[in-house]
Amino acid sequence: MSSQPPSQPQISADGKFYWDGQRWVPMQQTVPPATATKPSHRGRNLGLGCVGLIVVVVIIAVIGSAGSGGGSKSQSLHWSVDGRSTGASTVGGTDAVQVTVTNNGSNASDLILYLNASDDWFKHHVITDPDGCTINKDLERLECGPLSGGATRTINVAGSPKDAGNFNFELDVADEEGSQLSYPDKGALTWSEAVTA
């Protein structure tokens, strides 16, 4: 008795059996090509996708740290920053901020003083003497020129308060290399000031 159907067998209405001449025999089913007989690449593809995603995240992190001054330039800025400031003044009176920067690292191309953090000293004062620094009103900063490695510079910024109130001010020190700013560790000075009318 043949286990294969004849060349022109009689097939049942549901297509599951054929007549071998004596009885209905189940049809031998062939495995369709899309079943699990081929090895699955899903796990491998998922693993490759995860590796690719990790590589993209690492590249973005490296580019982000280089763009934010976290590259090797900022690590070379070993500055000591100290200062003092006026704690009380009057509108239209005199006010001053003094900062001393000692460069214990490589040469700085341009010493930058920012007075616009916290309550924004730059907006609440008229600068009457920038002590040799250039006032950049658009960027709200003072550009004070290069500072060689090993050099110390003290800058006295004089101003006159425009607004009364109790303020918390901050002065940040940076070096500008091209268009990228690099900040030394512990470069910010903070203080409180009471300005009366």
The CATH number of residue 91's host domain is: 2.60.40.10
Is 71 inside a domain boundary?
A: no
pLDDT of residue 74: 43
**33 part of a folded domain:** no
- 159 within domain boundaries: yes
Of 164, 169, 176, 165, the C-alpha closest to 133 is 176
Q: Read off the pLDDT of residues 81-119 as tens digits, 9 standing for 90 and up.
A: 888 888 899 999 999 999 999 988 888 888 999 988 889
In a domain? residue 84: yes
**Residue 161: Cβ-neighbour burial (10 angstroms; 0-12, 13-18, 19+):** buried
Please report whether residue 8 resides in a domain.
no
- Look at the pTM and tell me if it is higher than 0.85: no
Q: What average pLDDT score do residues 123-144 get?
A: 92
Q: Where are the alpha helices (DSSP H) in the chain?
A: 42-67, 72-75, 121-124
Q: What are phi and psi of 141, to 5 degrees?
A: -155, 165
**Torsion over CA: 43, 46, 48, 51 (sign):** negative
Task: Tell me the C-alpha distance between 128 and 124, whole Å.
Answer: 13
- Is residue 160 over pLDDT 90? yes
Structural domains of the chain, count: 1
Question: Which band of pLDDT confidence, cut at 50, 70 and 90, is reported for residue 51?
Answer: low
Confidence of residue 22 (pLDDT cuts 50, 70, 90): confident
Q: Give φ, ψ of 6 to 5 degrees.
A: -65, 170
Q: What share of the chain is helix, strand, coil (3-state, %, to 5)?
A: 15, 40, 40
Q: For the stretch 104-120, what's the b/e string if a residue is b when 16 or more beta carbons lie within 10 angstroms of its beta carbon?
A: ebeebebbbbbbbbbbe
65 is a domain residue: no
Contact between 101 and 131 under an 8 Å Cβ cutoff? The reply is no
Ordered strands of the 79-85 beta sheet? 79-85, 95-103, 152-161, 125-129
Residue 160 lies in a domain: yes
Query: Which residue range(s) make up the domain with 103?
Result: 78-196
Residue 112 included in any domain:
yes
